Amino acid sequence: MTPIGKDILAALQGIVGAGRVLTDAESLLRYGRDWTRAHTPDAGVIVLPSSIGQVQDVVRLAASKQLAIVPSGGRTGLSAGAVACNSEMVLALDRLNRIEDFNPVDRTVRCGAGVVTEQLQQYADAQGLFYPVDFASSGSSQIGGNISTNAGGIKVIRHGMTRDWVAGLKLVTGTGELLDLNRGLVKNNAGYDLRHLVIGAEGTLGIVVEATMSLSRPPENLAVMVLGVPDMASIMSVLAAFQGGIEISAFEFFSELALCKVVAHQGL
């Protein structure tokens, strides 16, 4: 792998600005890992572009210098997908955080890959609509990362995975080319739908820089039930009974040991 020398740092600064190329130890640690702790991060440089064009230029530079890139979103994953272990360039998409366009007819919103999940949820709510993909990390996870991991979350049983809500996306390939996949179309049967190859590919086919996300009507008459059962087999029986009669948004379980840990932590 090509070392990241002063000439490369200067070229990166020329693309994104001097303050957006980070090499200090704190930044390398922060941006060089996700919530996985099994691997020691060893990032070479952190780059924070603010536009799709800058992402393309950074990727072209990396390709010309044979530099490896680790795309970085909110870094909330637990599978080391965003860990830079071999002095790679970390391309953080935090600054691609704008909601660009809303289509009330199709109920879609076009946004940058760095938009935080909760930001999209709040925007949908302001339009009287609903973005259902949700998880504990929604306050820090980013849409680009959700797409790249095909994140599911706690409501997958009713609303599906992130894949089911991506109407279109833009991808920067390893050569810096920009692909516009599906263009937000609701109905499109014109050949291969390459969008679905990209979703869940964890950045191996390119870097997701923008997405058109579908929204829905908000759910009504929601209720929450906490039910005690003696064993796992009983949990599955309860799930089967519920699915036969009502629409479930989420179905989770926790053990008695987990409950005791929460109670102790909260001092209840």
Give the residue-averaged pLDDT of 11-37.
Answer: 94
Domain ranges of the chain: 6-92, 99-214, 232-266
pLDDT of residue 1: 63
Which pLDDT belongs to residue 94?
97
pLDDT in tens, 9-23: 999 999 999 999 999
Task: Report the C-alpha gap between 89 and 102 in whole angstroms.
Answer: 33
Domain 6-92 class in CATH: alpha beta
C-alpha pair distances (Å), 46 with each of 21, 87, 94, 206: 6, 10, 11, 18
Q: Look at the block and give the residue holding tokens 């309860």.
A: 238
pLDDT band at 186 (very low <50, low <70, confident <90, very high): confident
Per-residue confidence (pLDDT) for residue 252, from 0 to 100: 86
* pLDDT of 2 over the 80 cut: no
pTM of this prediction exceeds 0.85? yes
Residues 51-89 pLDDT 10s? 999 999 999 999 999 999 999 999 988 888 889 999 999
pLDDT above 90 covers a percentage of the chain that reads: 70
Q: What is the mean pLDDT of the chain?
A: 93
Question: Domain spanning 99-214 has what CATH number?
Answer: 3.30.465.10
**Residue 245 has which token pair?**
């009669």
Tell me, what's the pLDDT at 268?
Answer: 85
